[in-house]
């Protein structure tokens, strides 16, 4: 169980958080203009990387805020945590 | 207890005799004994039978690695515990233990026949034999299941108390041996908040009973120096010492689990009302692993007889427990450490017959001492066989050839009643690898050690678990590493004077040769699971290459000891046979727990009822008093129906639903989710999350909305009311409330942060009383005379602020039953009162409380869906024939694009339809399949029934169903095949009752 430094509350046990999958998948602004394939790419396709991955997390049992995390899935090392809308830091 | 087998020991209390029972017979031991040491002092070696061949097995070790001496403790059906290691049970008054895996007794075991059948029971025997004929499997399974399994599970609930506790510290030191004590002292001295754990009853590890004159620290015996150090630890208030506490798991981010045994060593009568075990959940900033090493056995023919023990265990039994494991002992070794055992035995007057050493020579201090005593050493020899069925009585040895691959010369016979074996040491790297660390192979000592370049910087391994086996190495390196780790400049241990015997000659043979071919020998690797070196070689011949596969095929390392003794040899033999280097082969995965945990420790106080919340509406007491039966909906208890005069559910529901349509019904709708939505962009937000348009909804009006997932499938529904320009209240399904709020929050925070919208859950703040039926208007009028209920002022789908007896309330005119109806929303603490007022006001109209079952029936008559019952996450609004609610004009909303994917526009999707049965009294079963052609094989399923009721208002059975292309099949005759009949049904419209919605305004 890792420790997550919530950008709003500080360090808390992982059990307070829920993972929301891959980060930086932006909902298309004009979905109607997308082909089926393009829409399916947005809707279904997710990376599952062994290594450094960009993820969304939610402090579900805390402040309920969403934020982004850069985590190495092979050793759970958290490289960076940043708020929604912020640019991912370079790690 | 046999006097001849006891010598003096200061480590246990030899003045207190404790009686205990083993296999029904009473024995005596001393306070401080383990069950194993007490049995050995009674000359009991045979304690169990092996798993597969039922061979007699004896105590082999003195710790958690014990493969053989696992026993069933206690005969009480609620307290009995299987697979407990006799080497870890501290003796107490009232202890009752029994051998496992033998019948009728450990001395005469019918299963022993398997030993003679062993040539026919090779690795993979079960996989290979019981394959055919397939139809026989059920017969085989019966017998296999009866012969499988170790020990007996308790049959009654566990009365003991277990506990969980969190601990946070700067430094956690795991293991209280010499290196753990040094590390803990350094940490405590540095004023760090420190926890020191050890699984034994005292600190000190193996060094605490090291009185050998060849090892000195500051000119003192190791034991004396160390006991002083341990005594000194008590003065640190920032150091907490936990003994009888074994570390179970080392997770990421230095999160560790440890089990503390609090009462297992107490006399049975002293345990009452005390916590038995506590699971510690420790978060440490830094971790020092000092878990030591386990001695390896040697792998030779018949190396499993009772009386064969690890040499270091014989040493602990004599030095620590004061117990002789035999009176004529032979020692078989590959290294120097066994000579320490010999010296201890000699000092205590135990006869050591002979030493068999596979090395050519050894020039160390202690070996010279042993030679000086005059004990016979067979250099470059190996044991090729042992004899004695229930206790070893002799060994056969032969000279090794030059390469160590075979034996030469004559066979020598040595009689003995105990054989100590030592094949070197295996560092306990379990915790290091559990934490994600990688291992490297040390070729000199043939062992895996932590590769600390490839591990987290917040932990170190010190002492023999780091591969340091010599006393001076252990002390110096522990001191040095700990200093660096904790940022300490000078240490009290910097100038210690250490005297130690050094091992210079090293040799290792994983599988010792015999004069017989391998196939005729039994060199056991995994003693508990009876897998031999032969089995591993067979697995390799049959094509298994990965160590993980060999492990599973041969079951090597899969016993309760998890291969603590056997895994290294298995790896060694695989490497030798395949010609690979050991480091390249890798190891099997070390998984937690290090030693088995009880279920009690895992669950702690979480026993009995679930901790999940039960939610009750404000009117719950009224429902209870009035005989409601309840249904669980999510966490809520909702009234299901209100039986009167012993009515069945069917009868009650028929009465309730008739009353609701004929006069008046009242429903507690408080459990529906309520989300308060405010902000200047609230209308825009609703436009994006619902399929229909919201911008033009007037203040004071209500609208039904359908919410989709981004994949176009219906997710939730409910009525939302516009309370003000920038203020809405949304209702959701009872079960979906929390998820809907989360989903909306997610979109607001991540996709549309530019929207000025705030969401607040108000489900619990308001209670909802729904009054429906032709007389509902009169009832509400009696309760709130000021409110103008005329259709002009208060039409269907509108809302009014009002008050009842001065308490503000919100009244909506909305309907889920198709009847003229009102929902009164009022602050929850007034709700029961208002409910009672409604009952009073409605008395003259026979107002009838109805539950969820009637509500479902009434809405089904109207063809209204219930998300989650009629939908299952695979239906679009179009599939539900609800195209009318999907806005064509809106540019976008959640799920819109998915509604015209090639899959969602298919004509032959399952679509919601109504079903009526040819026999109006036949009620379909929900979930039953719908077919067209009964003769087609395989029969084609067109869909299934989602809701089904007998409608008292229509006086016939009605159902909703999803059917392939159902939209275009109106009037089609289909079948619902049941176990013993086929029911004829016809597809209809989904609305069965009041198609023109006349009743809404009646």
pLDDT for B747 equals: 97
Distance CA B265, CA B259 (A): 14
Closest residue to A43, CB basis, from B252, B283, B711 = B711
B253 to A2: CB separation less than 8 angstroms, yes or no: yes
Domain B673-770+786-802+810-815+824-834 superfamily per CATH? Aminomethyltransferase beta-barrel domains (3.30.70.1400)
Q: Alpha carbon of B429 to those of A81, B289, B294, B460, B467: distances in Å?
A: 32, 9, 10, 11, 9
- State which residue of chain B sits closest to A34, comparing Cα positions: B897
B253 to A32: CB separation less than 8 angstroms, yes or no: no
The yes-or-no answer to whether B161-293+427-491 and B297-423+504-519 have a common fold is yes
A56 to B750: CB separation less than 8 angstroms, yes or no: yes
Closest residue to B746, CB basis, from A40, A43, A66 = A66
Pairs of CB atoms within 8 A across A/B: 51
Mean of the per-residue pLDDT values of chain B: 93
Q: B906-1001 belongs to which CATH class? A: mainly beta
B896 to A75: CB separation less than 8 angstroms, yes or no: no
pLDDT for B134 equals: 63
Closest residue to B436, CB basis, from A27, A75, A84 = A75
CA atoms within 13 A on the CB side of B189: 20
B122-135 pLDDT, tens per residue? 666 666 666 666 66
Classify strands B956-964 and B941-951 as parallel, antiparallel or unpaired. antiparallel
Percentage of chain B lying above the pLDDT 70 cut: 96
Least confident of A12-26, B51-65, B245-259: B51-65
Token pair recorded at residue B381: 């020899």
> What is the third-level CATH fold of B523-583?
Arc Repressor Mutant, subunit A (1.10.10)
Q: A3-27+41-83 belongs to which CATH class? A: alpha beta
B520-561 pLDDT, tens per residue? 999 999 998 888 999 999 999 999 888 888 888 888 888 888
Asked if pLDDT for residue B832 goes beyond 80, the answer is yes
Q: Where are the domains of chain A?
A: 3-27+41-83
Asked if pLDDT for residue B149 goes beyond 80, the answer is no
Asked if pLDDT for residue B997 goes beyond 80, the answer is yes
pLDDT for B7 equals: 96
Q: Please, which pLDDT band fits residue B453 given cuts at 50, 70 and 90?
A: confident
**ipTM of model:** 0.97
Closest residue to B902, CB basis, from A1, A36, A58 = A36
> What is the third-level CATH fold of B3-116?
Ubiquitin-like (UB roll) (3.10.20)
Asked if pLDDT for residue B633 goes beyond 70, the answer is yes
B896 to A31: CB separation less than 8 angstroms, yes or no: yes
Asked if pLDDT for residue B103 goes beyond 80, the answer is no
Q: Where are the domains of chain B?
A: 3-116, 161-293+427-491, 297-423+504-519, 523-583, 673-770+786-802+810-815+824-834, 906-1001
Interface check B897 vs A, CB under 8 A: yes
Chain A residues within 8 A of B745 when measuring between CB atoms: 64, 66
Distance from CA of A47 to the nearest CA of B (A): 18
Distance CA A65, CA A37 (A): 32
- Tell me whether residue B639 is exposed, middle or buried, using C-beta atoms within 10 angstroms of its C-beta: 0 to 12, 13 to 18, 19 or more: buried
Helix (H) or strand (E) holding B129: helix B125-129
Chain A residues within 8 A of B898 when measuring between CB atoms: 39, 43
pLDDT for B45 equals: 96
* Cβ proximity of B55 and B115 under 8 Å: yes
Closest residue to A39, CB basis, from B253, B749, B901 = B901
Q: Please, which pLDDT band fits residue B151 given cuts at 50, 70 and 90?
A: confident
* Cβ proximity of B307 and B419 under 8 Å: yes
- State which residue of chain A sits closest to B166, comparing Cα positions: A13
CATH of span B161-293+427-491? 3.50.50.60
Q: B297-423+504-519 belongs to which CATH class? A: alpha beta
Give the distance from CA B531 to its chain's centroid.
28
**Cis (ω within 30 of 0) for the bond into B104?**
yes
Asked if pLDDT for residue B763 goes beyond 60, the answer is yes
Q: Which residue has the higher pLDDT, B154 or B136?
A: B154
């Amino acid at each position: 169980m890792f420790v997550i430094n919530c950008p709003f509350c500080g360090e808390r046990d992982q059990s307070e958080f829920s993972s929301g999958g891959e980060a930086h998948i932006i909902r298309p602004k004009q979905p109607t203009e997308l082909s089926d394939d393009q829409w399916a790419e947005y809707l279904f396709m997710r990376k599952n990387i062994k290594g450094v991955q960009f993820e969304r997390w939610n402090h579900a049992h805390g402040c309920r805020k969403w934020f982004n995390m850069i985590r190495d899935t092979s050793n759970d090392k958290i490289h960076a945590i940043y708020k929604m809308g912020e640019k991912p830091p370079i790690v | 207890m046999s006097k001849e087998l006891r010598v003096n020991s200061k480590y246990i209390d030899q003045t207190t005799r404790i009686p205990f029972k083993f296999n029904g017979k009473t024995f005596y031991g001393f306070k401080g004994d383990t069950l194993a040491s007490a049995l050995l002092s009674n000359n009991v070696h045979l304690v169990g039978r092996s798993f597969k061949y039922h061979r007699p097995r004896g105590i082999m070790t003195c710790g958690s690695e014990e493969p053989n001496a696992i026993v069933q403790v206690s005969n009480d059906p609620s307290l009995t515990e299987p697979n407990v290691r006799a080497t870890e049970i501290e003796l107490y008054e009232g202890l009752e233990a029994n051998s496992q895996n033998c019948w009728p007794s450990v001395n005469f075991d019918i299963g022993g026949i398997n030993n003679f059948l062993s040539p026919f029971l090779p690795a993979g025997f079960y996989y290979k034999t019981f394959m055919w004929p397939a139809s026989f499997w059920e017969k085989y399974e019966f017998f296999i299941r009866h012969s499988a399994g170790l020990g007996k599970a308790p049959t009654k609930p566990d009365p003991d108390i277990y506990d969980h506790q969190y601990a946070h510290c700067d430094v956690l030191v795991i293991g209280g041996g010499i290196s753990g004590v040094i590390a803990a002292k350094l940490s405590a001295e540095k004023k760090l908040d420190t926890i020191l754990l050890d699984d034994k009853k005292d600190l000190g590890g193996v060094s605490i009973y090291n009185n050998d004159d060849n090892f000195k620290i500051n000119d003192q015996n190791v034991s004396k120096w160390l006991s002083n150090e341990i005594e000194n630890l008590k003065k640190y208030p920032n150091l907490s010492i936990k003994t009888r506490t074994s570390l179970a798991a080392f997770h990421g981010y230095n999160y560790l689990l440890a089990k503390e045994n609090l009462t297992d060593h107490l006399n049975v009568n002293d345990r009452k009302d005390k916590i038995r075990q506590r699971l510690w959940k420790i978060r440490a900033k830094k971790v020092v692993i000092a878990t030591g090493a386990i001695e390896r056995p040697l792998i030779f023919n018949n190396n499993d007889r009772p009386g064969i023990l690890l040499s270091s265990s014989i040493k602990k039994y004599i030095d620590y427990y004061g117990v002789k494991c035999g009176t004529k002992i032979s020692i078989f070794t590959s290294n120097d450490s066994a000579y320490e055992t010999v010296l201890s035995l000699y000092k205590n007057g135990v006869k050591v017959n002979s030493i068999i050493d596979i090395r050519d020579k050894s020039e160390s201090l202690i070996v010279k001492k042993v030679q000086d005593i005059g004990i016979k050493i067979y250099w470059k020899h190996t044991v090729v066989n042992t004899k004695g069925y229930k206790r070893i009585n002799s060994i056969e040895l032969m000279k090794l050839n030059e390469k160590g691959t075979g034996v030469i010369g004559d066979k020598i016979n040595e009689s003995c009643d105990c054989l100590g074996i030592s094949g070197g040491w295996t560092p306990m790297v379990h915790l290091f690898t559990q934490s994600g660390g990688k291992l490297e192979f040390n070729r000199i000592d043939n062992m895996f050690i932590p590769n600390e370049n490839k591990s987290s910087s917040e932990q170190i391994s010190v002492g023999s678990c780091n591969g340091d086996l010599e006393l001076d190495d252990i002390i110096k390196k522990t001191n040095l590493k700990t200093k660096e780790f904790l940022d300490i400049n000078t240490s009290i241990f910097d100038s210690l004077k250490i005297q130690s015997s050094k091992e210079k000659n090293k040799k290792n043979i994983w599988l010792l040769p015999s004069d017989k071919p391998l196939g005729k020998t039994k060199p056991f690797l995994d003693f508990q699971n009876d897998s031999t070196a032969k089995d591993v070689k067979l697995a390799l011949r049959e094509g298994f290459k990965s160590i993980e596969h060999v492990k599973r095929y041969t079951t090597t390392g899969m016993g309760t000891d998890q291969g603590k003794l056997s895994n290294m040899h298995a790896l060694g033999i695989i490497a030798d046979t395949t010609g690979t280097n050991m480091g390249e082969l890798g190891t099997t995965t070390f998984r937690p727990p290090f030693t088995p945990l009880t279920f009690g420790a895992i669950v702690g106080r979480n026993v009995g009822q679930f901790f999940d919340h039960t939610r009750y509406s404000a009117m719950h007491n009224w429902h209870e008093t009035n005989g409601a039966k309840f249904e669980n909906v999510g966490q809520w208890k909702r009234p299901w129906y209100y039986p009167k005069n012993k009515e069945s559910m069917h009868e009650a529901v028929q009465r309730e639903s008739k009353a609701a349509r004929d006069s008046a019904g009242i429903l507690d709708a408080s459990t529906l989710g309520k989300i308060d939505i405010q902000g200047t962009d609230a209308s825009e937000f609703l436009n994006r999350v619902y399929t229909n348009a919201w911008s033009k909804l007037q203040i004071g009006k209500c609208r039904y909305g359908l919410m989709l997932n981004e994949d176009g499938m219906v997710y939730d529904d409910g009525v939302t009311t516009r309370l003000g320009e920038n203020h809405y209240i949304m209702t959701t399904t009872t079960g979906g409330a929390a998820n809907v709020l989360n989903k909306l929050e997610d979109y607001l925070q991540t996709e549309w942060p530019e929207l000025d919208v705030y969401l607040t859950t108000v489900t619990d703040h308001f209670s909802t009383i729904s009054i429906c039926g032709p007389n509902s208007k009169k009832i509400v009028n009696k309760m709130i005379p000021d409110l103008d209920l005329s259709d002009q002022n208060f039409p269907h789908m509108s809302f009014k602020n009002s008050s009842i007896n001065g308490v503000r309330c919100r009244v909506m005119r909305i309907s889920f039953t198709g009847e003229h109806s009102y929902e009164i929303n009022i602050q929850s603490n007034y709700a029961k009162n208002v409910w009672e007022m409604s009952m009073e006001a409605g008395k003259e109209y026979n107002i009838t409380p109805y539950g969820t079952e009637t509500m479902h029936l009434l809405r089904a008559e109207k063809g209204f869906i219930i998300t989650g019952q009629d939908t299952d996450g695979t239906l679009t609004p179009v599939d539900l024939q609800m195209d009318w609610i999907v806005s064509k004009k809106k540019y976008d909303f959640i799920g819109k694009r998915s509604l015209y994917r090639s899959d969602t526009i298919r004509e032959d999707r399952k679509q919601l339809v109504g079903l009526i049965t040819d026999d109006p009294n036949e009620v379909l079963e929900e979930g039953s399949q719908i077919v067209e052609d009964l003769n087609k094989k395989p029969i084609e399923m067109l869909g299934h029934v989602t809701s089904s009721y007998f409608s008292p208002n229509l006086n016939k059975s009605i159902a909703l169903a999803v059917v392939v292309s159902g939209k275009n099949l109106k009037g089609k005759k289909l079948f619902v095949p049941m176990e013993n009949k086929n029911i004829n049904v016809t597809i209809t419209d989904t609305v069965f009752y009041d198609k023109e919605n006349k009743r809404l305004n009646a």
